[in-house]
Amino acid sequence: MTTPAFSMCVYCGSRPGVTPVYAQVAQRVGRWIGEHGGQLVYGGGNNGLMGLVAQSAQQAGARVVGIIPKALQTTENTRHACTELHVVETMHERKRMMAERADAFIALPGGIGTFEELFEVWTWRQLGYHDKPIGLLNTQGYYDGLIEFSRHSVSQGFLSDWQMDLVRIDTHPEDLLQALVQAAGWTPPAKLAGV
């Protein structure tokens, strides 16, 4: 078994959203991870964008590590086809394991679960609990409101610019993924690096 080039943790919606554009970016993210020899770490479900990322990654050759709490196995429709599936006792255990198994994090459009996961790794990073890169994929301006609110928080003295800078924001999935894995220490093949 070859060791994956990198391990990318993807946080995203357990629903598909109202426009197919969200599904398309989820598939692009999964495909990119697979095509670049990476490993996907995610919540282990088959629903919404989560399921699409996992299917696309696996089809493109990625190892897929799914981590799902016991109590959510039915509601989140466990993806038994994962290369590695962990059924854990609690949500805290899931999130800890996801964070430990990743070299970098990317949040796609999603709901409250995705927000919480993004904010958790962001706060952990600002506290120095880890130093892994974090990305926010702002597909079709989905996160504009959140970004604007965070800037408002800076203007009001509750957040610093350096804390804002801990999250890379981009609308282009492949560019963001590449920036994240490079920041995590991965060297892209020459053709990708433009050599």
Kindly provide the b/e burial profile for residues 94-133, where b requires at least 16 CB atoms within 10 angstroms of the residue's own CB.
bbebbbeebbbbbbbbbeebbeebbebbbebbeeeeeebb
- For the CB of residue 13, give the shortest distance to ligand AMP in the complex, in Å: 4
- From the list 14, 39, 46, 58, which residue makes contact with ligand AMP (rule: CB under 6 A)? 14
Binders of ligand AMP among residues 166 to 195 (CB under 6 A) are none
Give the residue with the Cβ less far from ligand AMP, 102 or 186.
102
Rounded to a whole number of angstroms, the minimum distance from the CB of residue 148 to ligand AMP is 20
Residues 117 to 156 in contact with ligand AMP, rule: CB under 6 A: 117
Pick out residues in 86-115 that bind ligand AMP (CB under 6 A): 91, 110-114
Should residue 43 be labelled a site residue for ligand AMP when binding is judged by CB under 6 A? yes
What does the block give as tokens for 105? 């994090």
**Strands in the chain per DSSP E:** 7-11, 39-42, 63-69, 84-88, 104-107, 134-137, 167-170
Residue given tokens 């962990």 in the structure block: 86
Question: Which residue, 114 or 139, is less far from ligand AMP as judged by CB?
Answer: 114
